[in-house]
Structure 1
Amino acid sequence: MPSTSNSKPLTPAAPNDMTIADSYARIDEFINKNAGEQKFKVEDDNHGMGMISTVGDHKKAVNMRLDGSTIRNYLINNGFQFGDDSICSRK
Structure 2
Amino acid sequence: MPSLTNREPTTPAAPNDMTIAECYSRLENFLRQHSDIKQFKVEDDRHGMGMVSTLDPIYATNIRLSERTICNFMLNNGFQQDGDHILSRK
Q: Shorter-chain TM-score category?
A: 0.7 to 0.9
Deviation of the 1:62 alpha carbon: 0.1
**SS of match in other structure, 1:73:** helix
Contact 2:15–2:62 (8 Å) recurs in 1:
no
Q: Cα distance 1:35–1:52, how it changes in 2: closer, same or farther (>3 A)?
A: same
**Percent of aligned positions with the same letter in both sequences?**
54
1:39: which partner in 2? 39
**SS of match in other structure, 1:22:** helix
Deviation of the 1:85 alpha carbon: 1.1
Q: Which runs of 5+ in 2 are unaligned?
A: 1-12
1:30: which partner in 2? 30
1:67 aligns with 2:66: yes
Runs of at least 4 residues off by over 2 Å? 13-17
2:83: which partner in 1? 84
- Tell me: higher relative CO, structure 1 or 2? Use CA pairs within 8 A at least 6 residues apart: 1
Deviation of the 1:48 alpha carbon: 0.4
**SS of match in other structure, 1:16:** helix
**SS of match in other structure, 2:71:** helix
Q: Deviations over 1:26-84 (max 9, x none)?
A: 0100001101100000001000000000012x610000100000000000000101111
1:9: which partner in 2? none
Aligned counterparts of 1:69 and 1:14: Cα–Cα separation in 2: 21
1:3: which partner in 2? none
TM-score normalised by length of structure 2: 0.81
Contact 1:42–1:51 (8 Å) recurs in 2:
yes
Aligned counterparts of 1:68 and 1:86: Cα–Cα separation in 2: 8
